[in-house]
Amino acid sequence: MRYSDAATQLSRTHAECVRLILGAIMDIPDEQFWRNPSSESRSICEMIRHLIRVDIWFMSQFGFELNVEDPGDLSAADISTVLMALNREIDEIISNNTTILVRTPKGHKKIRHSFAEVILHMCHHWLYHYAQVVYLRRAEDRTWSSNLQEWDQLTYSMGMDSAMINILLDD
């Protein structure tokens, strides 16, 4: 398997995860975006900021410094702009560094997986929080329609991505 094929697929999967989140927050009222469901829970805004911070952290563990940072408590529209910029940067990193897909950070105490595995983990993380966003949106507005069919298809696609990564690592 060629690294460029794997990179293209991983980039596409990450972009689809970001697109799902963008769709879920596209028309959300600010008060719902910032509402904390309980003292121990995150608001939708806090979840999105968490996703941004975690992706930045993972990229930094492989030596990539992104130009995106935690945007703070902005509107959903403004945070969407940050999400799109984050996705562009990660896509560029994956596309321009295909040979590192099988690399692991040397001597790292927390990450013992390849770059490709970490990208796929990030995608799973996005889908986990997508499900939470859907739950919170639907809890407040039963007429809001989520895109669960695409979420379902993406979970199956990510299973194939995992198999692809295993083949890549075995080469």
For 3-170, the fitting CATH number among 3.40.50.880, 3.90.1150.10, 3.40.718.10, 1.20.120.450 is 1.20.120.450
Look at residue 164 in the predicted model and tell me its pLDDT. Answer: 73
Are residues 13 and 147 in contact, defined by beta-carbon separation less than 8 angstroms? no
**108 alpha-carbon distance from chain centroid:** 22
* The one-letter amino acid at 12: R
Q: In what helix (H) or strand (E) does residue 78 lie, and over which residues does it extend?
A: helix 76-96
Instruction: Please report the pLDDT score of residue 109 as a whole number.
Output: 65
pTM of the model: 0.86
Please identify every stretch of the chain with a pLDDT value under 50, giving residue numbers as ranges.
none
Predicted pLDDT of residue 117: 86
pLDDT at 42: 92
At 79 the pLDDT is 92
Tokens found for residue 118: 């970490």
CB 33 within 8 A of CB 44: yes
User: What is the rounded distance in angstroms from the CA atom of residue 14 to the CA atom of residue 31?
Assistant: 28
Per-residue pLDDT, 171? 62
Hey, what are 90's tokens?
């990660």
CB-CB contact of 169 with 118 (8 Å): no
